[in-house]
Amino acid sequence: MPELPEVETTVRSLRKKVLGRTFIDCWIGAPKIVKKPKNIKQFKREIKNKKIQKLWRRGKNVLIQLSGEKTLLIHQKISGHLLFGKWKKKQNSWHAPAGPLADRINDFIRVIFIFKDGQMLALSDLRKFAKIELWGTDELLDSPSFKKLGPEPLEKEFNLSRFKRILEGKKGKVKQVLMNQEVITGIGNIYSDEILFRARIHPLRKVNSLKPEELKRIYLAIKVILKKAIEMKGDSFSDYRIPSGEKGGFQEKTRVYQREGEECFNCKALIKRIKVGGRSAHFCPRCQK
């Protein structure tokens, strides 16, 4: 699933391409992806002739603010990723020109937003788990699901003192707590593994067992890992691609994620994988305590 660095990379890329453009139509090949409104004709009618005024991110959500006080919320879920370019429809499928967009992982086009100049914004999603919602902007900002999201870990206000306050009283395993979107938003499986490895903390450690110095190491690792991943345009180990259709590069820099049975870069011990709350956790049994 795209996490904070992948979603931030998507938003930064799309800002350069779609700001100021106007929707004239929308093709929807997987109606279940559109969750709000569920009536597809109504959805198309409400976005037609709307101009993109702002693009931003909240947690793992791409937010496209439109004229008419409307906002598109797109959550890419497990295998979804947004692409920008032009496609041609042949029979029942869409085809991209030669180049990165023609990568097979980009072939699962489920939704296409069409702009006045013929350019397109497409959602490719192998598993069809992504969701698209059209909200009134004020309604979205005031919605319970939006308001309960935790703080953004790369904001200036997210300092060490606030991080410690957020974790105060938490009793769960540190990996699960880091992935809880109501505690801190944007961190998922990939980056919780990498953060804890850099901080030298075992993923099964209980949060209330962590010493102040250990909390500081986790806090600093959050900042370093997420910034580095954005710089590398995200992790494309699996389905994620940037809007040009190209891969990100962070998968070349991972130290534990998906490296079970390989040697630790620091101590040569073999990386292990365990289950934590139904999710995989990769760690070095020697470096992480």
Question: Cβ of 110: how many Cβ atoms within 10 Å?
Answer: 22
- For residues 287 and 275, the answer to whether their CB atoms sit within 8 Å is no
Burial class from Cβ neighbours inside 10 Å (0-12, 13-18, 19+) for residue 144 reads exposed
Q: What is the spatial distance between Cα 151 and Cα 286, in angstroms, rounded to a whole number?
A: 32
3 is catalytic: yes
- Any catalytic annotation for residue 152? no
> Is 212 one of the catalytic residues?
no
Which of 179, 173, 197, 174 has the alpha carbon at shortest distance from 259? 197
End-to-end CA distance of the chain: 27
Q: How do beta strands 52-58 and 61-66 pair?
A: antiparallel
The sign of the dihedral angle between the CA atoms of 144, 14, 238, 29 is positive
HSE-CB at 5 with a 13 A cutoff on CA atoms is: 27
Least Cα distance to 113 among 84, 92, 93 occurs for 84
Q: Is 216 helix (H, G, I), strand (E, B) or coil?
A: helix
The answer to whether residue 86 is catalytic is no
- 57, 60, 70, 205: the catalytic one is 60
Catalytic residue (choose from 36, 44, 170, 279): 279
**Catalytic, out of 2, 5, 153, 243:** 2
**Which residues are known catalytic residues?**
2-3, 60, 279
